[in-house]
Structure 1
């Protein structure tokens, strides 16, 4: 059942919400396409018991990425406590230089930097509350607001053993010696292949961000966690914005954050991967 406020918005705008098309793929929200008699359509996401400001945070992230870069994101038409209404972008086949475009666009996002790590407000990565308290030191930010915050939650839920938590605490003390000095770059924050869309002209569109300012290598690492990114993407990115020496050796370290997040969201099937990373770095 669609939230009443959403039904009212769709009705007032002339969209047919009673013959909507369900879209598969949302891990947290239900997704629909609602059409207008004119031929226009909107993409609707809703969740009856959404966390506080959940859809507002997604709306802010999409707008922020769009405003500061040449990257296309879906336009936001409306949002409420339990829903988000977006521009419907009809998918198509990739243009020949799709991956090169995406690489250069991500580099342009990462070139937008700030003095502090974090963001103006907290937001969400999936359903997990993501703390973005502005912090001057990148290692301190990644330790406190990424690794330790999730590790402690996982331990409290019985998903990590005390030895795992201690290993993560030990790793956090070593971050300064592992990660080279990097500026705080604007990040998409959840850049797996499922959050890269292809628009009707075959060009890249970024969706479902979890934006904050952090180490640029974190976004690159996330693209490697589940795969799906062509080598031309990395070549174009590095040509536009060279990475620090040894970046590939730090990929698993950065991906400890999304692995801990997946452990919290989806359970202990992710624990072996978490422990594999800890065996290398902790």
Structure 2
């Protein structure tokens, strides 16, 4: 079920429409006047109901039928996607480093060639220029791949269909082979661990994408208390020096490198991981056939 972290007038309106209630009926269920409800819906994102009213809204959402919950989730997701698309288009206009991948349509950013500080000991290492996905591959991205190729769907999609409430969350329950198949379809590849780490830490060896301060609130890890994946653009303050999101937390990400035959590196930690595992310099690996609810991926492409 979709959980609302902070109710505003926009979510209130979305819930009323999802429940298919008139303004007066909905206001009565929340326990406010129709005039107050009108004020919330008119002011939209600029207004936040009081704590008691938010609790009442939480209850209404939790006790709504499944179809109403799905309508609410779809409305919230569509709005978030529209905001993301608008931001992407603005970045494309303003920043020459950004581009859109021609096959999967994902926003990518250029990481320049040069030396960066790698690993726990900050060892100098070189990379050629490359492009990397700004966001991890989402369920919506993966659904397009499935439709185009007939590839098997992840096990958390009910009836083989991507849930509306998870469209902007990173896809999970994918093996390394699934991730590599998506990358091949998209005309890209999985990142090497060096490419992934440089995109996360920048050229000067930041401990975390945002700097050197160990701030768990800047990513979706176990300490954050979310308990599940979150939209890939949620943690704005955790962005890397190159403008790449979710490189700490949310999901582990498959890399191209083999640590031994049949095992590949994972980077970044997940919502199931303690913050102590979040530093991009740390190494994890898994069997290529492993799939779990906290493992996803992103892709890279040839540099400009």
- TM-score between the two structures when normalised by the length of structure 1: 0.32
User: Which has the greater radius of gyration?
Assistant: 2
- Higher helix residue share: 1
